[in-house]
């Protein structure tokens, strides 16, 4: 379970997240939606401490951490939280000088200290899961965008994190290639993988999200079941946003 209590994040005088309180159950998929600049990506980055909040509390499973103005969070605390999470970025961020299987192995060997043979076996298992075992020795430059993102998903899953965080996982892909990624994430959702994703892709969110959180101006406007948010949201602002996404054919700034 992930619990965020009174999370606040500022960059200088700009308040990006305001008093965020969310409970994200284990084995569920939560989609963060909302207009550009609403705080979706920043919230994800706060969960794995790529950004450090100025206030609030974060709990992932049995690990928790409290934030306060001026309090420095040490690497030991950051590492114990990050070991609970896997991160999938918008633009893949694969190592160009590593093959697909080497990209998946990298963190297991260099961060967790796994023997190479054990890491290779785990990496191949995950490449099979994302239907890319036949591309194990391919360089990222030779892969399509959809294939690169599937390698990135395998890499994020390698250490068996408690939660998979996805930051706009389909936004850099054309519709045909994004479908590959939607299919993989859908399969993971059916297996019970806990996921939190920031997305503007209504097709993805409506297909796999158990819970949808609508963020605007750094605040949670509405939270509810995916089916409810996309068909009859309680808040007028949420309804207008969903209608605008549908009118644009599912393409909107994230």
Mean pLDDT of 71-75: 92
Same domain, 68 and 91: no
Same domain, 167 and 242: yes
Q: How many domains does the chain have?
A: 2
Could you say which of 135, 160, 185 is where a domain stops? Answer: 160
Opening angle at CA 82, ends 108 and 88, nearest 5: 75
Q: What is the pLDDT of residue 247?
A: 73
176 in a domain, yes or no? no
Q: What is the pLDDT of residue 97?
A: 96
Distance CA 202, CA 245 (A): 7
Model confidence pLDDT, tens digit, residues 163-178: 999 999 988 888 888 8
Same domain, 229 and 202: yes
Mean pLDDT of 4-30: 94
- Whether the pLDDT of residue 150 is over 80: the answer is yes
Same domain, 71 and 100: no
Mean pLDDT of 118-124: 97
113 in a domain, yes or no? yes
Q: What is the pLDDT of residue 16?
A: 95
- Whether the pLDDT of residue 78 is over 60: the answer is yes
Mean pLDDT of 43-52: 95
Average pLDDT, the chain: 91
Cβ atoms of 144 and 156 within 8 Å: the answer is no
CATH number of the domain bearing residue 64: 3.40.50.300
Residue 64 is encoded by which pair of tokens? 């928790």
180 in a domain, yes or no? no
Same domain, 74 and 91: no
Could you say which of 160, 185, 207 is where a domain stops? Answer: 160
Could you say which of 134, 160, 186 is where a domain stops? Answer: 160
Same domain, 119 and 72: no
Same domain, 204 and 136: no
124 in a domain, yes or no? yes
pTM: 0.90
Q: Are β-strands 211-216 and 55-60 bridged in parallel, bridged antiparallel, or unpaired?
A: unpaired
Environment class of 232 (CB within 10 Å of its CB; exposed 0-12, middle 13-18, buried 19+): exposed
- Whether the pLDDT of residue 254 is over 80: the answer is no
Give the three-state DSSP class for 166. Answer: strand
Q: Compute CA distances 127 → 44, 120, 166, 237, whole Å.
A: 25, 10, 18, 41
Q: What is the pLDDT of residue 212?
A: 94
179 in a domain, yes or no? no
- Whether the pLDDT of residue 250 is over 90: the answer is no
Q: What is the pLDDT of residue 151?
A: 96
Same domain, 109 and 25: no
Confidence of residue 249 (pLDDT cuts 50, 70, 90): low
Q: What is the pLDDT of residue 226?
A: 86
188 in a domain, yes or no? no
Same domain, 42 and 104: no
Q: What is the pLDDT of residue 251?
A: 44
Find the domain containing 104 and state its range.
85-160
């Amino acid at each position: 379970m992930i619990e965020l209590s009174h999370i606040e994040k500022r960059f200088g005088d700009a308040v990006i997240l305001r008093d965020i309180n969310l409970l994200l159950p284990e084995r569920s998929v939560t989609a963060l939606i909302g207009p550009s600049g609403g705080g979706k990506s920043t919230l994800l980055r706060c969960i794995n401490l790529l950004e450090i909040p100025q206030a609030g509390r974060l709990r992932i499973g049995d690990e928790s951490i409290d934030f306060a103005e001026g309090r420095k969070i040490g690497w030991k605390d950051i590492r114990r939280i990050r070991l609970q999470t896997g991160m999938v970025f918008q633009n893949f961020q694969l190592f160009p000088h590593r093959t697909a299987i080497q990209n998946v192995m990298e963190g297991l060997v260099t961060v967790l200290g796994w023997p190479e043979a054990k890491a290779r076996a785990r990496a191949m298992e995950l490449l099979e899961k994302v239907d890319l075992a036949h591309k194990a020795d391919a360089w990222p430059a030779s892969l399509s965008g959809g294939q690169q993102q599937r390698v990135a998903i395998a890499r994020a899953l390698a250490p068996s994190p408690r939660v998979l965080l996805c930051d706009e996982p389909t936004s850099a892909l054309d519709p045909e290639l994004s479908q590959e990624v939607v299919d993989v994430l859908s399969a993971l959702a059916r297996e019970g993988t806990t996921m939190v994703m920031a997305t503007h892709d209504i097709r993805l969110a409506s297909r796999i999200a158990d819970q949808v959180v609508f963020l605007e101006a750094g605040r949670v406007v509405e939270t509810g079941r995916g089916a409810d948010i996309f068909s009859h949201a309680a808040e007028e602002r949420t309804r207008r946003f969903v209608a605008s996404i549908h009118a644009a054919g599912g393409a909107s700034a994230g």
